[in-house]
Amino acid sequence: NSSKILFMMMMMIGTMITITSNSWLGAWMGLEINLLSFIPLLSDNNNMMSTESSLKYFLTQALASAVLLFSVILLMLKNNINMELNSSFNSMILLSSLLLKSGAAPFHFWFPNLMEGLSWMNALMLMTWQKIAPLMLISYLNMKNLLIISIILSAIIGALGGLNQTSLRKLMAFSSINHLGWMLSALYVNEMNWLIYFLFYSFLSFILTFKFNIFKLFHLNQLFSSFFNSKSLKFMLFTNLLSLGGLPPFLGFLPKWIVIQQLTLCNQYNLLIILMMSTLITLYFYLRICYSAFMLNYQENNWIYKINFNNFNMNLYMIFSFMSLFGLMTVSII
């Protein structure tokens, strides 16, 4: 689809403009280009939920952009006319608008509801690519106190919010909020840690959404009743879920390990305990799902048909899954 390729390229260009901009106004322009090219990608004529989601996304991001522009104008007035404005208050408004754009707590209210109406590929873009520009701008601000509050709230809300979810998209949304807490804490130390964590998180999210998209899985009961003809696929899926949660033998533990080490060096023990406890809660509900899927005997439905899973997709998924499961061991050996 040529229009989708055009909007995708414009979305990427918008993010690049934001990252490479040397002024706040330029960064705001990049965010607007990114927003206006992502909305057509969200809307789908065949799905009314996606149209609703695109409208929700537009309204939330428009509010965040308006607040961002307001704080940028205040900042420019302060610099040009030497007005006596409280710079910490201005930075706080600026940071709040960027946290709203990225979907971090306490500005997370729009994120799970939005995810519920999206296709898996759009959900993946929202969880990964759309986080780059706001997080990069957050790294320019020096508001440690508000950032720590957001880290703690993101970790706790992301962990507790996913406990009673049956929708896979909402589960991934709350998992994303929890991971965002870890990403902000990596950003708290230095930008390189955030980049490493973000790349690993994007890779692991891609593996799961790739499989969910192929098999059109949207709810937990579909996970339990699927893959009767291939137990290895079922095993791979749930171990990838544990890898995303950060269980130590798998690759998902490596970025968390790096962040834990860096926070320890910075003597941020209280923050580290909260992050680790929240991760234990997320692992609890992932393990509960995996235990139910493997240990309980589900009746095979008569209408289950042979899954059309071509060789290329199969090989690609197996390679990525192998990297996810044994990547940490390989890195440790190296």
Q: What percent of the chain has pLDDT over 90?
A: 60
Q: How many domains are there within the chain?
A: 1
pLDDT at 30 (0 to 100): 96
pLDDT digits (tens, 9 = 90+) for 74-112: 888 876 665 555 678 888 999 999 999 999 989 999 999
pLDDT at 17 (0 to 100): 96
Span 213-221, average pLDDT: 87
66 pLDDT more than 90: yes
- State how far the alpha carbon of 158 is from the alpha carbons of 6, 221, 326, in Å: 34, 22, 26
pLDDT at 297 (0 to 100): 61
* Residue 171, domain extent: 2-333
pLDDT digits (tens, 9 = 90+) for 13-36: 999 999 999 999 999 999 999 999
The closest alpha carbon to 327, from 212, 200, 213, belongs to 200
Residue predicted with more confidence, 290 or 280: 280
Span 138-166, average pLDDT: 92
Residue 195's SS3 state is helix
pTM, whole model, 2 decimals? 0.92
pLDDT at 306 (0 to 100): 53
pLDDT at 262 (0 to 100): 94
pLDDT band of residue 241 (cuts 50, 70, 90) is very high
Q: Are 56 and 63 in contact (CB under 8 A)?
A: no
Separation between Cα atoms, residue 295 and residue 292, nearest integer Å: 6
